[in-house]
Structure 1
Amino acid sequence: MTLQKIPTGIKFPLFEGVKLINAAIEAADKAQEDSSSAKIKSENALATSQSAETKADSVQEQFNQVVIDGDSSVEAAQARVNAEGNSFTTLKDRLDTSDELMAERAIKTDGGLDRLKATSKFVTSLSSYVGLVNTEYTGDNGTRFYILPKAKVSSGVGGVLKIFGDDYQNGADYRDLGLYFHADQAGDKGYFGNGVFWINGKVFDGTGAQYLGKNPDIGFSFQDGETVAGRITRLGAQWPVWVFGKDKPSLHGFNPNILMEVQGEVGFKNNTSLKFRNSANNADAGVRMNSDDYFFMSLINGLKVFTNGGTEQLRVSGAGVEPKTKLVQNYIGISNNLPTPSVKTGNVFVISNTTTTSITDLLDGTPGQIVTLVINDFVTTIKSNSAIKLTSDFRPSNTLSNITLARLGTQWVEMFRKEF
C-alpha cells in the first residue's frame, strides 16, 4: 500500500496531517513484523536444507555399504584394490580413477607409427618397469609371454619380438634387435627345411645415414657388463666375427678371412679332440688333431705328420725323431745330361753325365737348402753365372771331386769345393 504524503506549500488542516503521520507509523510497525517473519522462515529453510544434505549423505553411505556388504562382498572388496595395491572406498571410486588415468595417457595409432599399419597394433605410454605375473596357472610359478602368428607359417615371418635402440619414428635412423621365426629367409629354410629362429641385429638409415654400415655388436655378458663373455661384430656385408673374450675384435686387420677370435686359451677335456676336415668331411685330405693320428702332440704319442694320402711321414716322440719315409733322399744319381737338373728330392747328388754338359742352374730349390754335387765324370762343368755364384767354374780333373752350394734367395752360392 502506498502512503499519502502531507502536502506542502498550501494550507492543510492539522488534524489531516496527524492522520497521515499515524498511518505512516502503523505501516512501519507492519514492515518490521514482516521482516522478522521472513528472517525466521529463511533460517528454517537453511536448517531444512542442511538436514536434507545430511540425509542424502547418509543414504549414499548406506548404499555404499549395501554394495560392499552385498552377496558379492568378498569379490567387491577384492576388486576395490588395483594392481599397484592401492585400495579404494568403493569399486566405483576405483573405476573413476582408472578412467581418469586412461584419459591422461596418449594412445597413438598414426603419425610416427606409419610403419606399424594395423588397427590391432598401438603404442601407449607405460611406467618404466612393466611386469607380467602368473596368477592363474597352477602347474608351476613361471610366467610365460607368448608371441603367436595368426596361422601356421609355411613361408615368411612368424612371431617377432623387436627391441629398439632409438625412438622408433617413420623415416628416421634407428637400431633394433629382432628375435623372430622365418620359414625361408633369403631362401634359407634351415637344416631340416622347417625354418630358422633368428637373432637379428639391424640398422636403418632413413635420413642422415647415421648408422650406415655400423651395426651394434651383439654381446654376451654377466652383471650388466661386469663380465663380458663375448660378442658378434659385423665388419662387412659378408664378414661377421665371433669373439670369445671381453675385448673387441683385433685380429681381422691381419687376415680379413678370420671369422672367429679367441682371446684366451682353449682347453679340451680328456679323450676329446680338435679336428680340421675338408668340405667332404674327409680327414685324410686335411689336418686333424686327436689322440692317435694326423697332427698331434703329447708326451705319450709325440708329434705325427701325415701326407694328404694318410701316410705317416714323421714322428717325434720319446724315442727321438723317427722318419717313417725318407724326407730327404741322400746320394741321388744324376745322369740325364741336363744343364738344369732338379734338386727337389735330396741334398747329395752324384753326377755321371755321358756327354759334355754345362750346368747353369739347379731347379726346384728352396731357400736355405744345401746341396752337394759330386762329379763322377770328366764331361761336366758347373758354370758360374747369375743363378749359380761361384769363385770360378768348377770342372774337376778327378772323379768324386765335389762342390757344396746353399740356396740364398733366388741364387745358389758356393760354400766350399774339394778336388781330388
Structure 2
Amino acid sequence: MTAVVETPAQRQMDLLRFATAGSVDDGKSTLIGRLLYDSKAIFTDQLEAVEATSRSRGDEYTNLALLTDGLRAEREQGITIDVAYRYFATPRRKFIIADTPGHIQYTRNMVTGASTADLALILVDARKGLVEQSRRHAFLCSLLRVPHLVLCVNKMDLVDYSQEVFERIADEFTSFAAKLEAPDLTVIPISALHGDNLVSRSENMPWYEGPSLLHHLEHVHIASDRNLVDVRFPVQYVIRPQSTTVADYRGYAGQVASGVLKPGDEVMVLPSGFTTKITHIETADGPLREAYPPMSVTIRLADEIDIARGDMICRPNNAPAVAQDIEAMICWMDETRPLTVGGKYSIKHTTRSARTVVRGLQYRLDVNTLHRDESATSLALNEIGRVKLRTTVPLLADEYRRNRTTGGFIIIDEATNRTVGAGMIIEAG
C-alpha cells in the first residue's frame, strides 16, 4: 500500500503574498528594506554593498531602500519603476513582496504586482496625508479584489509621533475605503526609516495599542480568502508516458484554481460536458488525499475522455460559464497603440488561448474621481475601462469577484506577442 504524502499543502498555505503601494517618496522601498533587514533576510555582502552605495551617494545613513530599487535608473532617479519581488520568511510564515511603483505612469506595474496579492500595504506620508495616489491605489486594490488592506502612516517621526495627525489620516482613509469593496482594513502608524512599529511595538507611540506591522502580516488570516467551494481545475498538460510499463497511464496536470478535489469525487469536463470520477491525485512527492488552491497536482480519471490543454475539470452542478461574449474591466498596458473598438488580439485565460475582438467600449474610468466617461472611444496606456469582447472559442469563466483565477485574463498583441492588457471579467455569457 502506497503511503500518503501531504507535504506540499502546508508549505503553500503558510505563504502570504503582499504588495506595497503608495505615492512617490512615501517610503515603500525603505519599508521593505527595513523588513528584510530586521527579519535577517539579507546576506552580509548585500548589506555591505548597500552601505558602500549609501556612502558614495553622500547619505548619512544606510539607505535600505537600495535593497529593492535594483534598477540603475531607479537608483539614479530615486524612484521605483519596475515591480521588484522579494522573499523573506519568519518562523510563522513565508512572504513574497511585490514592491510596486508609485508614479501614475506605472499604473500597469501596480496592477501586475497586486493582481496575485493576498494583502496590500498602502503607504502615506504623515506630513502630506492622503493624496491622489493614495486613493488611486486603494481603488485599484479594490478593483483587483485584494482581500486585506493595511494603511501604513509612514514618517511619523517627522510629525513628532502625533496621535492627532495619525487619527486624522486614518479617519479620512476609512471613510474613503467605505465607498470601495475593502472587506478588511487595518491602519498602523510607522517610521520605516527608524523601524517604529515594524517588527515590534514602538515606545515613541504609547498611544497606539494595535499590533506591529510584522505581527499583523504573520497573523492575518488568509486561508478563508481562497474559494474552496467552486471546483475549478484548468488542465495545463496531458501526461502520457512513453514507457511500456505504464502504457495505460493518462494524467492531467495543472494548478487548482479553486475548490477541493478528492479521489472518488464526481467531476465534469468542460467544454465537452462528459462526467467521470477522480481515481487518483498525485504530486512528485506521491499521492494525496485532497488538493486545493494553489496546489499543482496531476489528476487521473476513471474514464478515458478526450481532454486537452485549456479544458477544465469542475463539478457537474457547479460549472463556470461557457461563453464567447464577455464584459470586463481592462487596464491597458501598451504605450504604442491604444485599445480601440474593432481591435483584434489574442487572449490568454487560465490555460486556454483564443483570439478576440473588441465589440464595444462602454466607458473609461477615472480612477482618481471614479467618474465614468461614456463618450470614450479608446483606452491609452494605464487607462482602465469597461469593454465587451467576443472570442473565437468559448472561455470557461467566472466573475472576477467570485474567482480571481478564472475571472482574470491577459490580452496579447498578435504582431509583437507583447502583453498589452489585463482584464477582470464582470459578466460572461
**TM-score scaled by structure 1?**
0.18
Higher CA-based Rg: 1
Greater RCO (CA < 8 Å, at least 6 residues apart): 2
- TM-score, with structure 2 as normaliser: 0.18
